[in-house]
Structure 1
Amino acid sequence: MTGQKQRERDLAPALTRGLKILDLIARQGQAVAMSEIAEQLDLAKSSVHGLLATLVAAGYVERLPSGGYRLGLRIVQLANARLDSAALPAEFYALWEQHTTFREEASILAVLDGADVVYVACRNSRHALGVTFRLGMRLPACCTATGKALLSTMSDDEVRAFYARHDMSVLTRRSVPGIDELLVQLAEIRTRGSSIDDGETRDHMWSAGAPVRTSDGRRAEAAVAISFLRSDMTANKAEMAGDFIRRFAAKLSESQVAPAAGSRGA
């Protein structure tokens, strides 16, 4: 929805407005006043009042004593149900525990959702990276190591078509400025097998990522990344990080196609 340049005819306008309210509150990361919601979404206060009342009654939004609104616990329940139904996050954590290399660094598993990546598993570092990763966190795919790893599994034509439907975001002065520059990066990622976020998400952070591929090996269902302080990076460490994350992603990909315990091999 938000950020798309082309939209199909809206068949459920009230539902769309309600979802936009949820998206807005989620992006703010704090309680939001009804007047601010109405202003930012260009909606009548009477309409916002009715929608918020419905969302509060259903448990998707909570109204605080201050009068502001925040996401309700029902959202958390839905998110947990979605994650519990996916085996990949559990495999990510289990595989990570088997490795000693880069154990102190932040690690992330993300999936593509619109123009953003959404973190479905993460481990934070004790280092001050300028960001604290959390489940459900969203960041622009074009700026992140996981996002660029996922985009690299598309063809150039597919990437151009993708960004004809979505906006490209810039988070820092190092963020990729346009589609042509992004395509150059994606070509390098396909050759190297791993992606790099060199201060594009946060000024002080450097990350390496790689795609977790589907069973046919052609597409990526997710991507993994590890993050470091940029000031700690050397050419040798960057090479080691890229090699590690490529191998980690490959093992995670293999775990998704391996026969389940008790199943018969062909």
Structure 2
Amino acid sequence: MDAINDDAIARRARGLDRAFEILDFLRVHRAPMKPNEIATHIGAPRSSVYELVNVLLRNGILEYADNEKRVYLGRKLYLLGAAYEDQFDFMAECDKVLEKIATETRETAQFCMLDGNKYTVVRMREGARPFRISSDVGHRVPIPWTASGRLLVAHMSDDEIIDFIPKEDFLLPNGQWLEPAAFIREVREAQAAGEFTFNSIVDSFTHCFAVPIKDDTGRHSATICLVAPREDGIRNRAHYLAVLKEHAEALGALQLSSRRSAGNHHPRPGS
């Protein structure tokens, strides 16, 4: 009997993993798809994908996007996200901090994290410049392409970094190959300095700044970034880093306080 129960639990766990894989694929793909197309892209049996898609549709996690039976992320996910932010108001405070940074520097400010083995911009405030310098929120970018990437993997050992980052991600947008050993040297330098700046690999006209936000273990859980025109970024480097470090320290303290408050929150009966 125990073996049967264990097998059932394992099947359910695999089903949950596959359901999250479907949701994450649609999030990254950013467009509706038919279930059979999803199955092909994620390398899963069509029967199991159809079954899981139907479950997600019934629960409002997915919705039909058109008459062709393409599916996409459902509005219930928005409601879940709104409920999350009501309880964990760190992101609202993060938006305020990014607004302050953008105002003080006139440059584009970003709050960035890891998304699996990729880098992503979670929040952003554009600067006051007449032209747009920014990255799309939620777009997944190879870690070695970013200033933040040097800080976000700093808690890992050298071998863990090599295992974590896909080998192809060391091929830069300009076609050059970044030696993993050179990347790791930059990671350790960034870890020691508590900052990393460089001329953008993705955009030849910009200079990028990143400083870490630390959790209660000292790990770099996120970064605050600044994206500036190259000449202005180099000229104002000291000032921009000072602004970022001041606000990163404040956000780190706020993040820790928010987590402790959430952990100590015990709803009253009936509330």
When normalised by structure 2's length, the TM-score is: 0.74
- The aligned runs of 1:152-171 (5 Å cut-off) are 152=154, 154=155, 157=157, 159-167=158-166, 169=169, 170=171
Counterpart position of 1:116: 118
d(CA) in 1 for partners of 2:224, 2:126: 14
- The aligned runs of 1:13-52 (5 Å cut-off) are 13-52=14-53
d(CA) in 1 for partners of 2:126, 2:100: 17
**Following TM superposition, by how much is the alpha carbon of 1:36 offset from its aligned partner in structure 2, in angstroms?**
1.9
**Following TM superposition, by how much is the alpha carbon of 1:211 offset from its aligned partner in structure 2, in angstroms?**
0.7
Change (3 A) 1:64 1:215: closer
Provide, for residues 80-114 of structure 1, a one-character-per-residue CA deviation record: whole Å limited to 9, x for no partner: 33344334323323334555421x32211233343
d(CA) in 1 for partners of 2:80, 2:32: 20
d(CA) in 2 for partners of 1:138, 1:177: 19
d(CA) in 1 for partners of 2:11, 2:115: 20
Change (3 A) 1:202 1:98: closer
Counterpart position of 2:221: 221
**Following TM superposition, by how much is the alpha carbon of 1:29 offset from its aligned partner in structure 2, in angstroms?**
0.8
- The aligned runs of 1:95-110 (5 Å cut-off) are 95-98=97-100, 100-102=103-105, 104-110=106-112
Q: Is the 8 A contact 1:107 1:124 kept in 2?
A: yes
d(CA) in 2 for partners of 1:229, 1:66: 45
d(CA) in 2 for partners of 1:174, 1:249: 33
**Following TM superposition, by how much is the alpha carbon of 1:255 offset from its aligned partner in structure 2, in angstroms?**
4.2
Between the two proteins, the alignment pairs up a number of residues equal to 245
Higher percent of residues as helix: 2
**Following TM superposition, by how much is the alpha carbon of 1:197 offset from its aligned partner in structure 2, in angstroms?**
5.1
**Following TM superposition, by how much is the alpha carbon of 1:249 offset from its aligned partner in structure 2, in angstroms?**
1.4
**Following TM superposition, by how much is the alpha carbon of 1:172 offset from its aligned partner in structure 2, in angstroms?**
1.8
Q: Is the 8 A contact 2:85 2:91 kept in 1?
A: yes
Q: Is the 8 A contact 2:98 2:111 kept in 1?
A: no
The structure with the largest alpha-carbon Rg is 2
1:208 aligns to 2:212 (yes or no): no
d(CA) in 1 for partners of 2:34, 2:148: 33
Counterpart position of 1:189: 190
1:237 aligns to 2:241 (yes or no): no
Q: Secondary structure at the match of 2:50?
A: helix
d(CA) in 1 for partners of 2:184, 2:118: 17
% same residue: 20
d(CA) in 1 for partners of 2:98, 2:250: 10
Provide, for residues 142-190 of structure 1, a one-character-per-residue CA deviation record: whole Å limited to 9, x for no partner: 43333322223x25x2x53144245253562378734312211112213
- 1:252 corresponds to which letter in structure 2? L
- 1:226 corresponds to which letter in structure 2? L
- CA-based RMSD of the aligned residues comes to 3.3
1:74 aligns to 2:73 (yes or no): no
Q: Is the 8 A contact 2:108 2:126 kept in 1?
A: yes
Change (3 A) 1:35 1:97: closer
Segments of structure 2 that go 5 or more residues without pairing to the other structure are 1-9, 261-271
Q: Secondary structure at the match of 1:50?
A: helix
d(CA) in 1 for partners of 2:207, 2:38: 35
Segments of structure 1 that go 5 or more residues without pairing to the other structure are 1-8, 261-266
